[in-house]
Chain A
Amino acid sequence: MGFLVVLAQRTLYGLLLLLAVLVLNFTMINLAPGDVVDTIAADMGGASAELVAQIRAEYGLDQPVIVQLGNYIWRVFQFDLGQSYFYNRPVTEMIFERLPATLLLVFSAQIFALVVGILLGVFAAQRPNGILSHIVTLFALFGYAAPVFWTGILLLIAFSLKVPLFPVAGMRDVTVEGFFPQVLSVAHHLVLPMLTLGSIFIALYSRLCRASMLEVLGSDYVRTAKAKGLSPRDVTMKHALKNALPPVVTLAGLQFSAVISGAVLVETVFSWPGLGQLALTSILARDTPTILGILFFSALVVIVGNLLTDLVLRLIDPRVRGKA
Chain B
Amino acid sequence: MKIAVLRHLAIAAGVAALLGTTAMAEDPVRGGTLITTLPQTPRHLNPAVQSGIVTGAPGAQLFAAPLRYDEDWTPQPYLAESWAWSDDGLSMTLNLVQGATFHDGEPITSEDVAFSVETIKANHPFKTMFGVVEAVETPDDHTAILKLSQPHPALLLAMSSQLMPIIPKHIYGDGQDPKSHPRNGKDVVGSGPFKFVEFTADQQVILERNDDFFIEGRPYLDRIVYRIIKDASARAIGMENGELHMTTFENTVRNIKRMSENDDLVATDEGYAAIGPINWLAFNTGSDGPLADKRVRQAIAYAIDKNFILNAIMLGLSQESKTGIHPGSPLYYPDVNGYDLDIDKANALLDEAGYEKGADGIRFSLTIDHGNPTTKPQAEFTKASLAKVGIDVSVNSFVDFPTWANKISNHDFDMTWDTVFNWGDPVIGVHRTYDSQNIKEGVIWSNTQQYANERIDELMAAAGQEIDPDKRAALYKEFQEILADDLPVYWTNTLPYHTIYNKKVGNPPLGIWSSSSPYDLVFLKE
* Distance in angstroms between the alpha carbons of A52 and B409 in the assembled complex: 12
Would A284 and B443 count as touching, CB distance under 8 A?
no
Question: Can you list 28 A-B contacts with CB-CB less than 8 angstroms, sorted by A residue number?
Answer: A34-B401, A34-B406, A38-B444, A41-B445, A42-B444, A43-B52, A48-B127, A51-B127, A52-B443, A87-B41, A87-B201, A88-B44, A97-B201, A153-B233, A153-B234, A156-B233, A160-B241, A160-B243, A168-B229, A170-B203, A174-B204, A174-B206, A269-B231, A269-B234, A270-B231, A271-B203, A271-B231, A284-B401
Would A49 and B202 count as touching, CB distance under 8 A?
no
Cβ of B422 to closest chain A Cβ, rounded Å: 10
- Encoded as 1 (CB less than 8 Å from any B CB) or 0, chain A from 166 to 185 comes to 01111100110000000000
Q: How large is the interface on A (under 10, 10 to 19, 20 to 34, 35 or more residues)?
A: 35 or more
Mark out the residues of chain B between 203 and 248 whose CB falls within 8 Å of any chain A CB in the assembled complex: 203-204, 206, 225, 227-231, 233-235, 237-238, 240-241, 243
* Distance in angstroms between the alpha carbons of A270 and B228 in the assembled complex: 11
Mark out the residues of chain B between 243 and 263 whose CB falls within 8 Å of any chain A CB in the assembled complex: 243
Would B238 and A49 count as touching, CB distance under 8 A?
no
Would B227 and A169 count as touching, CB distance under 8 A?
yes
Q: Chain A contacts of B446 at CB under 8 A? A: 46, 49
Q: Is A151 an interface residue (CB 8 A)?
A: no
Known: A48-B125, A161-B240. 11 other contacts (CB 8 A): A32-B403, A33-B402, A34-B404, A45-B52, A45-B445, A46-B429, A161-B237, A170-B203, A170-B229, A271-B203, A278-B201
Cβ of B267 to closest chain A Cβ, rounded Å: 17
Assuming the contacts A46-B444, A271-B229, asked whether A284 and B400 have C-beta atoms less than 8 A apart, the reply is yes
Q: Chain B contacts of A86 at CB under 8 A? A: 43
Mark out the residues of chain B between 435 and 449 whose CB falls within 8 Å of any chain A CB in the assembled complex: 440, 442-446
Residues of A that sit less than 8 Å from B by CB:
32-36, 38-49, 51-52, 86-88, 94, 97-98, 153, 156-157, 160-161, 164, 167-171, 174-175, 268-271, 273, 277-278, 281, 283-286
Q: Is B180 an interface residue (CB 8 A)?
A: yes
Would B201 and A273 count as touching, CB distance under 8 A?
yes
Q: Is B407 an interface residue (CB 8 A)?
A: yes
- Encoded as 1 (CB less than 8 Å from any A CB) or 0, chain B from 272 to 303 comes to 00000000000000000000000000000000
Cβ of B121 to closest chain A Cβ, rounded Å: 12
- Encoded as 1 (CB less than 8 Å from any A CB) or 0, chain B from 154 to 188 comes to 00000000000000000000000000100000000
Which of B51, B230, B405, B429 meets A34, CB within 8 Å?
B405
Q: Chain B contacts of A269 at CB under 8 A? A: 231, 234
* Distance in angstroms between the alpha carbons of A38 and B201 in the assembled complex: 21
Mark out the residues of chain B between 25 and 68 whose CB falls within 8 Å of any chain A CB in the assembled complex: 33, 40-41, 43-44, 50-52
* Distance in angstroms between the alpha carbons of A46 and B124 in the assembled complex: 10
Q: Chain A contacts of B442 at CB under 8 A? A: 49, 52
Would B445 and A46 count as touching, CB distance under 8 A?
yes
Q: Chain A contacts of B365 at CB under 8 A? A: none
Q: Chain A contacts of B125 at CB under 8 A? A: 41, 44-48, 51
- Encoded as 1 (CB less than 8 Å from any A CB) or 0, chain B from 374 to 410 comes to 0000000000000000000000000011111111010
Which of B44, B127, B230, B444 meets A41, CB within 8 Å?
B444
Cβ of A41 to closest chain B Cβ, rounded Å: 6
Would B43 and A87 count as touching, CB distance under 8 A?
yes
Q: Which 9 A-B pairs have the closest CB atoms?
A: A34-B402, A34-B406, A46-B445, A44-B51, A47-B125, A168-B238, A38-B405, A273-B202, A44-B125
Would A174 and B403 count as touching, CB distance under 8 A?
no
Q: Is B367 an interface residue (CB 8 A)?
A: no
Would A38 and B402 count as touching, CB distance under 8 A?
yes
Q: Chain B contacts of A48 at CB under 8 A? A: 125, 127, 440, 443
* Distance in angstroms between the alpha carbons of A11 and B459 in the assembled complex: 69
Would A273 and B200 count as touching, CB distance under 8 A?
yes
Q: Chain A contacts of B227 at CB under 8 A? A: 169-170, 271
Would A33 and B406 count as touching, CB distance under 8 A?
yes
Give the A-B pair count, Cβ closer than 8 A: 155
Would B202 and A277 count as touching, CB distance under 8 A?
yes
Q: Chain B contacts of A41 at CB under 8 A? A: 125, 405, 443-445
Q: Is B322 an interface residue (CB 8 A)?
A: no
Which of A38, A45, A271 meets B406, CB within 8 Å?
A38
* Distance in angstroms between the alpha carbons of A47 and B128 in the assembled complex: 11
* Distance in angstroms between the alpha carbons of A312 and B445 in the assembled complex: 57
Q: Is B497 an interface residue (CB 8 A)?
A: no
* Distance in angstroms between the alpha carbons of A145 and B41 in the assembled complex: 31
* Distance in angstroms between the alpha carbons of A171 and B203 in the assembled complex: 8
* Distance in angstroms between the alpha carbons of A169 and B235 in the assembled complex: 8
Kindly report which residue of chain A lies nearest to residue B244, judged by CB atoms: A168
Which of B52, B235, B404, B432 meets A44, CB within 8 Å?
B52
Cβ of B455 to closest chain A Cβ, rounded Å: 24
Q: Chain B contacts of A175 at CB under 8 A? A: 33
Would B43 and A169 count as touching, CB distance under 8 A?
no
Kindly report which residue of chain B lies nearest to residue A278, judged by CB atoms: B202
* Distance in angstroms between the alpha carbons of A69 and B203 in the assembled complex: 33
Would B401 and A42 count as touching, CB distance under 8 A?
yes
Q: Is B513 an interface residue (CB 8 A)?
A: no
Would B234 and A169 count as touching, CB distance under 8 A?
yes
Q: Chain B contacts of A160 at CB under 8 A? A: 237-238, 241, 243
Q: Chain A contacts of B451 at CB under 8 A? A: none
Cβ of A303 to closest chain B Cβ, rounded Å: 27
* Distance in angstroms between the alpha carbons of A268 and B126 in the assembled complex: 31
Q: Is B423 an interface residue (CB 8 A)?
A: yes
Q: Chain B contacts of A87 at CB under 8 A? A: 41, 43-44, 201
Would B421 and A88 count as touching, CB distance under 8 A?
no
Q: Chain A contacts of B402 at CB under 8 A? A: 32-36, 38-39, 285-286
Assuming the contacts A52-B442, A168-B243, asked whether A42 and B405 have C-beta atoms less than 8 A apart, the reply is yes
